[in-house]
Structure 1
Amino acid sequence: MGGVLFVNPSSGKGGPSVEELASAAQALGVRVHVLEEDDDLVELARQADEEVLGMAGGDGSLGAVAQVAIDRDLPFVCVPWGTRNHFAIDIGLDADDPLSTLAAFGDGVERRVDVGRVGEQLFLNNVSLGVYARLVHRRERKRQRRETFARLRALLISLKDRRRTERFVVDGEPLRASVVLVANNEYRLDLFSIGERDRVDEGVLAIYAAHGLRRLRWTERKTTSVRIETRRDPTHAAIDGEPALLDSPLELRVEPGALRLLVSPEEGVDVEATASVEAE
């Protein structure tokens, strides 16, 4: 019965207009629903009659519809329409050309990719705790006054002393860190920041801790599940860059291959990932 594309009109930054995106999708036989202020995105996705669910928005909006796609065992189309588009970039989509990703509705190839969970809440990218999470909450309050927020990279470079570290207990081991980040698969690291992921289908959580002195140091380990205790309960967190309050302890896990991602044949998962899926 075709596909439906939900569009968050407040997410798009530059590039095609909402009207251009809607027109291109409708030309492929896709029903388009541009979200209005009072719309319940999750409920709309649950009630959609179509056999493919798509979302044009930032990572937070993508995660909401991806959750429904998993619950309903339906394919999911990701259209990069946010400011940073971390998930879209990491799965190999061209974030500068969102119209090209619409081809997945027509001749899309299905790839299984992983998702993470904190409790029962899904995340596509990561969950962060510590200084960054607190500033995400501050950003959300300031957004109501139309103020801006510095990016994670600038924040991390500014963490220079131990007074900004917090205490955590990770799988029973005490830890002091400025930022703790639990990622759906492994990121590339440099001295100051977390970069991109080469794969989103290796079935692991990657746990990063940033220690701030004169320079940042990152420590890393990989696992499939982790328990994190925080001193504050509930604690400030950021889930895919969006603010959340989570009860301590946090139980996080990876769900390998949970999301049925549709991509156009020219985009998406690399040759190695394709081979691993087709071999199953």
Structure 2
Amino acid sequence: MSEYPSAEQVVTGDTARRWWAWAALACAGGAAAVTVLSAGVLGTVGLVVVGAGGVVVTVAALYWFLTRRGAARWISLGVAVLAPIAVLAMFVRAGLLLEVLLAYALALASLVCARAALRGGRSATAMPEFPAAPPQHPFLIMNPHSGGGKVAEFDLVRRAEELGAEVALLDGPGTVDVTALARRAVADGADLLGVAGGDGTQALVAAVAAEHRLPFLVISAGTRNHFAMDLGLDRADPTRSLDALRDGVELRVDLATVNGRTFVNNASFGVYAEIVRSPAYRDDKTGTVLGLLPDLLTGHAGPRLVARIGETVVVGPQAVLVSNNPYGTSDLAGLSHRDRLDRGVLGAVALSVTNTLEAVGLLRRTRVQGLTQGTATEVVVEADAPEIPVGVDGESLLLRTPVRCAVEPGALRVRVPRTRPGVRTSAPAFDWVRLWQIASRPRAGSRPDSGD
């Protein structure tokens, strides 16, 4: 059963967004007024120059920290820490600390209100729900080591068996062929497949479920649970995922493939894939990232890539992220939310950073050379090497080039609890023009903004 807002709810939500937009504009105007009245026109210019200069120096120093080694790295870190302190000291010396803090508070309030106004309307989150009868022979695969031992911590085996499920634990000895295990379960009469584990394991079982058109259950017992998050599941309490076995509905979501292998979240190339490939990554993620970033960001390591995103060709990107449905436009690393999983397209981000100016531009989310974002039904990544590392749902694989990513619209029937926290929309890119359009929209007879 689909749960769309009524006409009255849409009008009410649209009115609320209009008030948020006016509040954002009012706070922004207040911040500007406080600055001008306290410092005067010339003083305001000075404040803007000092504040903006501090931001640029801080961001540039952080970029140098990531891209240099030895003493230069730690000097850069020191500059990044001291620059904001120096700016604050200059404001204090000028006797404008309270005024500046008030202006910053109003500016922050403006941003908060703007995010509320710009956050999408009903189309952003309304994946249709379909009625689903309880399964008769559910088969669940659980990894007792995933998520730091959540299977045991939440007593998932016992709870699932009480609901009539058969449970198979991935506790060895040796490596268990998850795909073969799922196929045997289907042959034995399973009418639902589910996984309590990481996104990589979920993708393997989801492929079998999609192949046999069986419903698939996600139990949020992994470490990051990105797929569960985008399905609206409770990541803090995986036992609530089991409610789908007795009172569930179905979502029809897309699956993506990379060289024929299914993934539910994303496939990454270049910088991130090289980092994940490092043997030290699992034991020391921070140290591995800091150790590899200088060579990777300055182009001294890894094969040269060419990304073909539909009709768009990107030559020499340092990082490419291909996702099963797009992430928010403000998310360059696939760490945020996908508002929907049923759009029938891949999201793609290709990124090149060659100097400090471009790094600053990317962090400020301005249009700079080297950043390409788009959607396509197929993304092809070529390289000057016969094989390249690819991070597939957080696992490192070596795949033959060219690497082809494709999407299978509506391929997976996902069983979810009828009651769940819900999917939060990702933060929209900040847009003053659209904010003004929302604020000035007529009160009646207008078409509700879709949020796209």
Q: Give yes or no for the alignment of 1:96 onto 2:249.
A: no
Structure 1: runs of 5+ lacking an equivalent: 273-280
Counterparts of 1:271 and 1:3 in 2: how far apart (Å)? 29
Q: Secondary structure at the match of 2:386?
A: coil
Aligned to 2:159: 24
Q: Give yes or no for the alignment of 1:201 onto 2:338.
A: no
Q: 2:322 aligns with which of 156, 174, 182?
A: 182
How many residues are paired up? Answer: 268
- 1:154/1:87 CA distance change after superposition, 3 Å: farther
Aligned to 1:148: 284
Q: Secondary structure at the match of 1:12?
A: helix
Counterparts of 1:137 and 1:271 in 2: how far apart (Å)? 31
Q: Give yes or no for the alignment of 1:71 onto 2:201.
A: no
Q: Give yes or no for the alignment of 1:6 onto 2:141.
A: yes
Deviations 1:33-53 (A, max 9, x none): 111223321111101132010
> Deviation of residue 91 (structure 1)?
1.3
Aligned to 1:42: 179
Which structure has more helix as a fraction of its residues?
2
Q: Give yes or no for the alignment of 1:248 onto 2:377.
A: no
Aligned to 1:264: 417
Q: What amino acid sits opposite 1:220 in the alignment?
A: Q
Which structure has more strand as a fraction of its residues?
1
Alignment of 1:84-233 (within 5 A): 84-138=224-278, 141-142=279-280, 147-150=283-286, 161-163=298-300, 167-171=304-308, 173-190=313-330, 193-194=333-334, 195-212=336-353, 213-214=355-356, 215=359, 217=362, 218-233=371-386
Q: Which runs of 4+ in 1 moved over 3 A?
A: 150-166, 189-194, 268-272
Q: Secondary structure at the match of 1:188?
A: coil
TM-score by length of 1: 0.86
Deviations 1:168-213 (A, max 9, x none): 2223834222210111111124476432211111111111012223
Q: What amino acid sits opposite 2:350 in the alignment?
A: A
- 1:7/1:18 CA distance change after superposition, 3 Å: farther
Indicate if the aligned counterparts of 1:12 and 1:81 stay in contact, CA closer than 8 A: yes
Aligned to 2:69: none
> Deviation of residue 18 (structure 1)?
5.5
- 1:151/1:10 CA distance change after superposition, 3 Å: farther
> Deviation of residue 167 (structure 1)?
2.8
Counterparts of 1:93 and 1:52 in 2: how far apart (Å)? 18
Indicate if the aligned counterparts of 2:151 and 2:157 stay in contact, CA closer than 8 A: no
- 1:155/1:105 CA distance change after superposition, 3 Å: farther
Aligned to 2:198: 58
Indicate if the aligned counterparts of 1:153 and 1:192 stay in contact, CA closer than 8 A: no
- 1:192/1:231 CA distance change after superposition, 3 Å: same
Larger radius of gyration: 2
Q: What's the C-alpha RMSD, in Å, of the aligned pairs?
A: 2.9
- 1:40/1:162 CA distance change after superposition, 3 Å: closer
- 1:196/1:118 CA distance change after superposition, 3 Å: same
Deviations 1:100-130 (A, max 9, x none): 0001122221110001111211010111110
